[in-house]
């Protein structure tokens, strides 16, 4: 399983909305986090999220499951560790 946790605050919420449209499983937790997950490989594109780079590059601050294979300005790819 590959996953990240977003902090459930206005800065990161657009990522969660877009992640659902991008086919990821999105779960809002009771603890103030939003879990984005995908079996195997998690791929998330930045442009559809609308967030700028300072927020994008801090998106996994809530936590990471798996290993980051690619994280550039346009794409985050996490693989099962």
Partner 1 sequence: MELNAAHIAKNKLHGVHHTARPTWKLRETVEFYRDCMGLALVHAISAKGWGPPGHPDFLHFFFDSGKGSTIAFFYYIGVEQPDYLRHRTQWDGDSVHTSWGVERQEELLDWKAALEARGVDVFMRVHHELIDSIYFRDPNGYLLEITWQTRPMTALDAGDAERTLQAAIAAESEAAAGGMPLNDIEGIWRRKAQLVRALESKE
Binding of partner 1 at residue 80 (CB under 8 A)? no
Question: Rule CB under 8 A: is residue 64 a binding residue for partner 1?
Answer: yes
Name the one range near partner 1 by CB under 8 A: 6-14, 17-25, 38-46. 6-14
Coil, helix or strand at residue 27: strand
Residue 18 CA from chain centroid, whole number: 9
- Cβ 45 to partner 1 shortest distance, Å: 20
* 39 burial via Cβ count (<10 Å: 0-12, 13-18, 19+): exposed
- Does the protein bind partner 1 through residue 79 (CB under 8 A)? no
């Amino acid at each position: 399983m590959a996953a990240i946790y977003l902090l459930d605050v206005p800065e990161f919420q657009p990522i969660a909305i877009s992640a659902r449209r991008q086919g990821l499983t999105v779960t809002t937790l009771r603890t103030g986090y939003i879990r984005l997950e995908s079996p195997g490989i998690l791929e998330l594109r930045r442009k559809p999220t609308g967030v700028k780079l300072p927020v994008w590059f801090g998106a996994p601050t809530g936590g990471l499951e798996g290993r980051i294979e690619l994280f550039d300005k346009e794409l985050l790819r996490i693989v099962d560790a």
